[in-house]
Structure 1
């Protein structure tokens, strides 16, 4: 007899829909039984007419803990994620301090214990001197993060040689390397040329042109091809960047991401939302957005993540000498599902495509395949119950992030999220999150994860 049965729904995996009763025991999907089959379970939930999606895996999140918890923390960030159907978060290392040593990573893991409402995997920053790599690898983070521009000197891999030497060390360690692409020489040149110009939105956009993104992408793809490293290219949003990617991607074992804001907002959004959408890379032209949407439709974009990077309302509302000085980043984990469903409604994606770019691909790419990203026997029972007959209107008042707002306020989507399960346990239902935090720290190795659980 199974622990739990979800009866009568349509399961949506990356390979398409299937009508099935989902059987769950000990937090795992045990079987998918065709409708009408005889099944017994201790508990049964009817989901007739509902779509069942695997919980989303957000591969690019800043939970701000430790050191920046006035912006966000493990509790608030994972509550927001649970409310939005994101059941696994992959946390970036740029907190205070940056996660760069085994001790830093152990602190994060301990801080998360008993406080996270979703599962969380941790990503670690790669210093230019490659300090601590071996010790960090033994703790099995889901990625190492390499930065090629716009970061403190200690973490800046500004040249091709820097990138090649780092990837040469990491390639034998069999771990994914996330790379934030850019070209520091272009950024530095634009900064000098802009010294005597107004410090407005236009100056900020000019300081980070598409050419810098495209140059960074081409450089890291060549470096990965030379070294055999597995890489994941972070948030791209320009036509030049994605076209460079499309021409060179087959040279290396590489994947690429973008974000909902890069698919939905062009530079005109600054006129309406101002500081609320100030982030890097800056918003591009409408033509760039159109090219990005086409790349999503064609399958050129592997992953859609949020770059959830909240700041306190006071920080965003303050007055700064230049637009570039406004803290960069915006909340996103709670709205990922609905913004992607908006793209489904617009005809850019099918439901199975949403699962592919927001669940299956990030799970497999970051070492969580076989556990996350699908509703299949052996996988964690991380399941979303989605009602195609409902309607959701995204609004500021519903946001659980400490940021207290969403750039997607007012967006209406013809779907509603009824229930969110994490390993067969309800963590969100009918607009209310569960009181108890049942999330776990996940790692790229199932063996190491089982050791953490003990």
Structure 2
């Protein structure tokens, strides 16, 4: 007797489609059976004509807790994720305080307990002194974040030697090192003026230089790395030429695939972030990289601010708080590219579910709808469409840069470990059941 069977759907995996009835027991996918195979189940859902996707894994999210909860918190951020089909998100460590010690990590775990509507993996920041690294690894975070520019001095690995030292320290701990690429020597600490001056202060050369240094250091240290959001033609070209030197993956974001610097003049502060939006030519190169499969992961860099912060008057464009909400619109924004023919649904699953799950080593439970995996299921009706609207957003930011975009396909239900958490446009009235995940889901000795 199964707990649940979903009948009539087509399962989408990273490599194709499968017509099958999906059976769930104990929160896991128990079986994929030929359509209409007689089985006993406590509950049955008809999903005729719909696609069943594994829950998305957003590998780059700022939930803002602790310390910045006027922008977002565990409850609001994970509610937004649930409504958008992200059933697992990986939380960045740049809160107040940063997650860089055993105490700050355990405090974050404690704050999250009983307040998560989806599953969350925690990421830790590597200080220059690296003293806490081994103790942090024993707590089983999903990554160690290494910053090469635009951060406080305590976290700045801005030279080839300091980056190499960091990656050599990470290597024996067998955990993914995520590098935010930049070149501090090319960045201006204070930027005067407007949009053009801000964009010029964060040039593609800085990104490309950061990517090159990260890959070379990873090759020397023999450390697995993941390069955070890229959005320039020069950065893509650098990655293309150097990626075979090391065990490396790369991500970009929906906003960088959809917007260019020209959009600043319409959307202004709402899309101000770092890296800045690039030229139309840069954006088109990024889209081509998406089409060819060079991009491993699409994540959101969900980084909300309050509307008061975003709409206040600032002396320079650079002074506007950087970042925007995105976790609720990851699926919808990627369905846009399915609609344009840039990608297909298996590619969406690959970049937004399977690849991040495997890369961050939570793939034993996440990233696919196959027996033994968590029954994190998205039901998408291809015969309906979705209009992304400000008013539907559950993030405290209260807006989306994609307002008014209409995309093919509609998310009609979301299951977390076999339990419905979202159905027909509203969250289920159930207590939050999300958990904190760790890489391998076991302790590091």
TM-score by length of 1: 0.96
Match of 1:452 in 2: none
Q: Is 1:384 the equivalent of 2:378?
A: yes
Rounded Cα–Cα distance in structure 2 between residues aligned with 1:85 and 1:179: 26
What is the CA-CA distance between 1:333 and the residue it aligns to? 0.4
Rounded Cα–Cα distance in structure 1 between residues aligned with 2:30 and 2:115: 28
3-state SS of 1:314 partner: helix
What is the CA-CA distance between 1:131 and the residue it aligns to? 2.3
3-state SS of 2:20 partner: strand
What are the within-5 Å matches in structure 2 for residues 75-90 of structure 1? 75-90=75-90
Match of 1:183 in 2: 183
What is the CA-CA distance between 1:347 and the residue it aligns to? 0.6
What is the CA-CA distance between 1:283 and the residue it aligns to? 0.2
What are the within-5 Å matches in structure 2 for residues 189-204 of structure 1? 199-204=193-198
Match of 1:49 in 2: 49
Match of 1:213 in 2: 207
Rounded Cα–Cα distance in structure 2 between residues aligned with 1:440 and 1:114: 8
User: Which one of the candidate residues 309, 320, 324 is aligned to 1:330?
Assistant: 324
What are the within-5 Å matches in structure 2 for residues 24-63 of structure 1? 24-63=24-63
Are 2:140 and 2:442, in contact at CA under 8 Å, matched by a contact in 1?
Answer: no
What are the within-5 Å matches in structure 2 for residues 330-409 of structure 1? 330-409=324-403
Question: What are the ranges of 5 or more consecutive residues in structure 1 without an aligned counterpart?
Answer: 450-454
Match of 1:274 in 2: 268
3-state SS of 1:281 partner: coil
3-state SS of 1:64 partner: coil
Q: Is 1:284 the equivalent of 2:301?
A: no
Match of 1:6 in 2: 6
Match of 2:128 in 1: 128
3-state SS of 2:234 partner: helix
Match of 2:217 in 1: 223
What are the within-5 Å matches in structure 2 for residues 87-126 of structure 1? 87-126=87-126
Match of 2:137 in 1: 137
Rounded Cα–Cα distance in structure 2 between residues aligned with 1:182 and 1:446: 32
Rounded Cα–Cα distance in structure 2 between residues aligned with 1:19 and 1:103: 48
Q: Is 1:438 the equivalent of 2:433?
A: yes
Rounded Cα–Cα distance in structure 2 between residues aligned with 1:209 and 1:348: 27
Rounded Cα–Cα distance in structure 2 between residues aligned with 1:390 and 1:286: 31
Match of 2:304 in 1: 310
Rounded Cα–Cα distance in structure 1 between residues aligned with 2:382 and 2:291: 22
What is the CA-CA distance between 1:370 and the residue it aligns to? 1.8
Give aligned pairs, total.
443
Deviations 1:285-308 (A, max 9, x none): 011111000001111100000000
What are the within-5 Å matches in structure 2 for residues 233-244 of structure 1? 233-244=227-238
Deviations 1:221-267 (A, max 9, x none): 00000000000000000000011000000100010000000000001
Q: Is 1:247 the equivalent of 2:274?
A: no
Deviations 1:118-141 (A, max 9, x none): 000000000011120011000010
Rounded Cα–Cα distance in structure 1 between residues aligned with 2:193 and 2:36: 66
3-state SS of 1:70 partner: coil
Are 2:302 and 2:327, in contact at CA under 8 Å, matched by a contact in 1?
Answer: yes
3-state SS of 1:445 partner: helix
When structure 1 is superposed on structure 2, of 151-160 and 38-47 the one drifting more is 38-47
Deviations 1:384-423 (A, max 9, x none): 0000011110010100000010000000012111000000
What is the CA-CA distance between 1:38 and the residue it aligns to? 2.1
Deviations 1:81-131 (A, max 9, x none): 000000001000000000000111111111111101000000000001112
3-state SS of 1:388 partner: strand
Q: Is 1:261 the equivalent of 2:255?
A: yes
What is the CA-CA distance between 1:448 and the residue it aligns to? 4.4
Divergent runs of 4+, >3 A: none
Rounded Cα–Cα distance in structure 2 between residues aligned with 1:187 and 1:413: 37
Match of 1:171 in 2: 171
Are 2:7 and 2:36, in contact at CA under 8 Å, matched by a contact in 1?
Answer: no
Match of 1:151 in 2: 151
What is the CA-CA distance between 1:15 and the residue it aligns to? 1.2
Question: What are the ranges of 5 or more consecutive residues in structure 2 without an aligned counterpart?
Answer: none
Rounded Cα–Cα distance in structure 1 between residues aligned with 2:153 and 2:441: 35
Are 2:393 and 2:399, in contact at CA under 8 Å, matched by a contact in 1?
Answer: yes
